[in-house]
Amino acid sequence: MSAPVRTIAATEAKSRFSELIGDVERGAVIDVTRHGKVIARLGPPVADEDQRRARMQAAAEAIRELKRSGRKTGITIEDILSARDEG
């Protein structure tokens, strides 16, 4: 679960910028407003598209490798459906 987004006026953000950057380093997300309208968001960096694609490809390859290894879980489809139906 992520932390709630804080809101701060641009004039106050300007005077407290160093403090806000420290909060962002600790994971905070802060919307900056001017006249009640959000004009910017300060937050930790998000993964760019290349990084996201690389992680997805690595995950898919790990799944393929697990399938190739032939390792069995001992769980049948009937077990899975039964567990699903039992809640």
pLDDT at 2 over 70: no
pLDDT tens column, 25-83: 998 999 999 999 999 999 988 777 778 888 889 989 988 887 787 767 777 888 888 88
Contact 13, 20 (CB under 8 A): yes
pTM over 0.75: no
Bridge-based pairing state of the strands 6-9 and 30-34:
parallel
pLDDT tier for residue 13 given thresholds of 50, 70 and 90: very high
The mean per-residue pLDDT over the stretch 10-24 comes to 96
pLDDT recorded at residue 66: 78
Residue type, 77: I
